[in-house]
Amino acid sequence: GNAWTMQLSGAKGWIEPTLTRVTIATGKTQQDDYWSLAGLPHPSDEKRPALQLELALGFQTAVGVINAQRAMDGAPRLLLETDVYRGVRRLSARHLPELVGAPDDDRLQLAPVLACVGGRVVLATHPEAAQALIDRALDGPATPRATGDALHLRGAPIAEALRLARPFLAARAAVTQEGGAAPDAEIARAAALIERIRGVDVHFAVGAGRARLTAEIDAPALLEPPGTAPR
């Protein structure tokens, strides 16, 4: 048959490698990185192991660069960890409490996580947030959305996070503010109010010379008397 000629450009100029065997990727196995024939559709759940590996190495490299700079500055470094959740490998970086010196240090709240779920990339600021995103990617079907930026918030998880951070926030507020209501009580009331909000959907789109911002709040419990448990 006809011979194929391939040239690659490298540090030493153009070279012509010899092709001894050519296989067409089907995208059905972990060894297939991509579809090699133009025009073939890409399934939404296509796994691309080589690309996932590059993302993982990029995450590790970024953490390594940050740690190198912090080592020169004498600052606490990040601990890089990996684990598996529901068959999905997660890479994370976090500060160690014994290195930052204080259990209420702001830096302990940040623990970036990278994970690949099928054809999706999950990047979160905390393992719990990454876990929720992985659950949604595995359990929830992908649905198309309108063009533009969309944001969905749920009150209950936000209220729970606020309660967990209440000791730290109250201590910080007590130092920075003078007089007024007790910070701890204010935070408790704010958490109780936020918990009554089932969800908030915000959508922003620009088109035809106009910008449109819409917000839909699902919070019937806000109209109920104080002290009523959220439904």
Q: Give the chain's largest Cα–Cα span.
A: 88
pLDDT in tens, 86-135: 999 999 999 888 888 777 777 788 889 999 887 788 888 888 888 888 98
148: phi > 0 → left, psi -120 to 50 → alpha, else beta; which? Answer: left
Encoded amino acid at 75, one letter: A
* Pairing of the two strands 13-15 and 8-10: antiparallel
pTM of the shown model: 0.46
Say if CB 48 and CB 33 are below 8 A apart: yes
Q: How far is CA 130 from CA 6, 117, 137, 157, in A?
A: 42, 11, 10, 14
Each of the 231 residues of the chain gets a pLDDT tens digit; together they read: 455 566 666 666 677 766 555 555 554 554 444 444 444 454 555 566 777 888 888 899 999 998 898 888 888 889 999 999 999 999 999 988 888 877 777 778 888 999 988 778 888 888 888 888 898 888 876 555 556 677 788 888 888 888 888 777 777 776 666 555 557 788 888 888 888 888 888 887 777 677 788 888 888 877 666 555 555
* Tokens linked to 89: 């490998």
Say if CB 151 and CB 216 are below 8 A apart: no
Cα R_g (the chain), whole angstroms: 25
- Which string of DSSP letters, residue by residue, matches 108-173? GG---EEEEETTEEEEESSHHHHHHHHHHHHHSPP----SSEEEEE-HHHHHHHHHHTHHHHHHHH
